[in-house]
Amino acid sequence: MTSAREQLQPRANVIIEAEKPTELPLQKCLDGVGISLLSEWDVLIFVYRHGASLTTVDQIARLIGYPSGIVSDTLDRLEREELIERSRPSRGVRFYRILTSMDSRRWLYLRQLIRLSESRAGRLQLAERLKAPFSDSGRKKQAS
Amino acid sequence: MATDGLIKTGIKGLDSILLGGIPRTNVILVQGVTGSGKTVMGSEFIYRGAALYNEPGLIVVFETSPEKLIRDAAGFGWNLDELQQQKKLQIIFTSPEVLDQELRSPDSLLLETAKEIGAQRIFVDGIGLLNTNLVDSNSVHRTYRELLQQLIESLHRENLTAMFSLELGNAHDSIAAAAGSIDFLADTIIQLCRERHGRRMQRSLEILKSRGQDYEGGEHTLHVTGGLGLEVFRRVQAPLPAKSIQPTSSTMRSVIGVEAIDTLIGGGIFDGSTTMVVGVSGVGKTVLATQILREGSLKQKTRGLLISLDEHPAQIIRNAQTLGLKLEEQVADGTIQILFESPQELDIDAHYARIVQIIEERDIQRMVIDGMTSYSTAIGEVGVYRDFFHAMVAYSKQRLMTTFFNYENPEFLGISSYMPDFPLSSIVDNLILLSLVEINNSLHRCISVVKSRGSKHSFDTREFVIGQGGISLVPLQQNQVPGLPLQSYSSLLSRAPTRFSLPTRIENGATVEGKK
Q: Is the CB of A56 inside 8 Å of chain B's CB atoms?
A: yes
Confidence of residue B244 (pLDDT cuts 50, 70, 90): low
Q: What is the pLDDT of residues B211-236, one digit of tens each?
A: 999 999 999 999 999 999 999 999 98
Distance from CA of B472 to the nearest CA of A (A): 56
Q: Mean per-residue pLDDT for B477-495? A: 66
Number of neighbours of residue B301 by Cβ within 10 angstroms = 9
Confidence of residue B245 (pLDDT cuts 50, 70, 90): low
Q: Is A118 exposed, middle or buried (0-12, 13-18, 19+ CB in 10 A)?
A: exposed
Whole-number pLDDT of residue A12: 42
Whole-number pLDDT of residue B218: 92
Whole-number pLDDT of residue A13: 38
Identify which of A1, A7, A93 has the shortest CB distance to residue B51: A1
Beta strands in B36-173 (DSSP E): 57-61, 89-93, 121-125, 161-167
- A47-50: long-range contacts (C-beta < 8 A, 24 or more apart)? A47/A78, A47/A84, A47/A96, A47/A97, A47/A98, A48/A12, A48/A98, A48/A110, A48/A114, A49/B65, A49/B66, A49/B67, A50/A96, A50/B65, A50/B66, A50/B67, A50/B93
Report the SS3 class of residue B324.
Answer: coil
CB contact under 8 A, B73 and A5: no
Confidence of residue A133 (pLDDT cuts 50, 70, 90): low
The 10 Å CB-count burial string (b at 16+, else e) for B366-390 is bbbbbbbbbbbebbeeeeebbbbbe
**Which range, of A10-19, B181-190, B430-439, averages the lowest pLDDT?**
A10-19
Q: What is the mean pLDDT of chain B?
A: 85
Distance from CA of A3 to the nearest CA of B (A): 7
Does the structure show a pLDDT above 50 at A17? no
Alpha helices in B105-213 (DSSP H): 109-117, 144-157, 173-185
Identify which of B78, B93, B107 has the shortest CB distance to residue A52: B93
- Tell me the Cα Rg of chain B: 31
Spatial separation of the C-alpha atoms in residues B274 and B368, rounded to whole Å = 10
Q: Which of residues 136-175 of B touch A (CB under 8 A)?
A: 137
Identify which of A1, A87, A91 has the shortest CB distance to residue B101: A91
Distance from CA of B105 to the nearest CA of A (A): 8
Does the structure show a pLDDT above 60 at A48? yes
Contacts of B83 (CB under 8 A, 6+ apart): B47, B50, B51, B89
Whole-number pLDDT of residue B377: 84
**Which residues make beta-bridge pairs with B190?**
B30, B207
Q: Is the CB of B490 inside 8 Å of chain A's CB atoms?
A: no
Q: Mean per-residue pLDDT for A65-86? A: 95
Q: Mean per-residue pLDDT for A112-129? A: 91
Amino acid letter for position B191: Q
Q: Is the CB of A54 inside 8 Å of chain B's CB atoms?
A: yes
Whole-number pLDDT of residue A82: 93
Comparing CA positions, the residue from B140, B194, B141, B142 lying closest to residue B167 is B194
Which chain B residues are Cβ-neighbours of A90 within 8 angstroms?
Answer: 102, 105, 107-109
B253-416: same fold as B3-233? yes
CB contact under 8 A, B81 and A11: yes
CB contact under 8 A, A54 and B98: yes
Upstream peptide bond of B257 is cis (omega within 30 degrees of 0): no
Sign of the CA dihedral with A120 first, then A126, A131, and A133 last: negative
Q: Mean per-residue pLDDT for B459-483? A: 79
Confidence of residue A8 (pLDDT cuts 50, 70, 90): very low
Q: What is the pLDDT of residues B26-76, one digit of tens each?
A: 999 999 999 999 999 999 999 999 999 999 999 999 988 899 999 999 999
Class (C level, CATH) for A37-139:
mainly alpha
Does the structure show a pLDDT above 50 at B186? yes
Spatial separation of the C-alpha atoms in residues A29 and A17, rounded to whole Å = 18
- Contact between A132 and A38 (Cβ < 8 Å): yes
ipTM: 0.74
B277: left (phi over 0), alpha (psi -120 to 50) or beta: beta
Q: Is the CB of B378 inside 8 Å of chain A's CB atoms?
A: no
Distance from CA of B82 to the nearest CA of A (A): 8
CB contact under 8 A, B92 and A53: yes
Identify which of B74, B107, B110 has the shortest CB distance to residue A5: B74
User: For chain A, what percentages of helix, strand and coil (3-state, to nearest 5) are there?
Assistant: 60, 10, 30
CB contact under 8 A, B93 and A95: no
Residue of chain A nearest B96, judged by CA positions? A55
Q: Mean per-residue pLDDT for A4-19? A: 41
Q: Mean per-residue pLDDT for B237-251? A: 61
Which chain B residues are Cβ-neighbours of A12 within 8 angstroms?
Answer: 81
CB contact under 8 A, A49 and B82: no
Domain ranges of chain B: 3-233, 253-416
Does the structure show a pLDDT above 50 at B240? yes
Q: Mean per-residue pLDDT for B399-410? A: 89
Spatial separation of the C-alpha atoms in residues B54 and B36, rounded to whole Å = 28
Q: Is B340 exposed, middle or buried (0-12, 13-18, 19+ CB in 10 A)?
A: middle
Q: Mean per-residue pLDDT for B449-453? A: 89
Whole-number pLDDT of residue A64: 92
Whole-number pLDDT of residue B2: 43
Which homologous superfamily is B3-233 in? P-loop containing nucleotide triphosphate hydrolases (3.40.50.300)
Q: What is the pLDDT of residues B335-358, one digit of tens each?
A: 999 999 988 878 999 999 999 999
Does the structure show a pLDDT above 70 at B16? yes
Which chain A residues are Cβ-neighbours of B91 within 8 angstroms?
Answer: 51-52
Confidence of residue B313 (pLDDT cuts 50, 70, 90): very high
Q: What is the mean pLDDT of chain A?
A: 82
Identify which of B76, B110, B137 has the shortest CB distance to residue A54: B110
Which chain B residues are Cβ-neighbours of A49 within 8 angstroms?
Answer: 65-67
Q: Is B344 exposed, middle or buried (0-12, 13-18, 19+ CB in 10 A)?
A: exposed
- CATH code for B253-416? 3.40.50.300
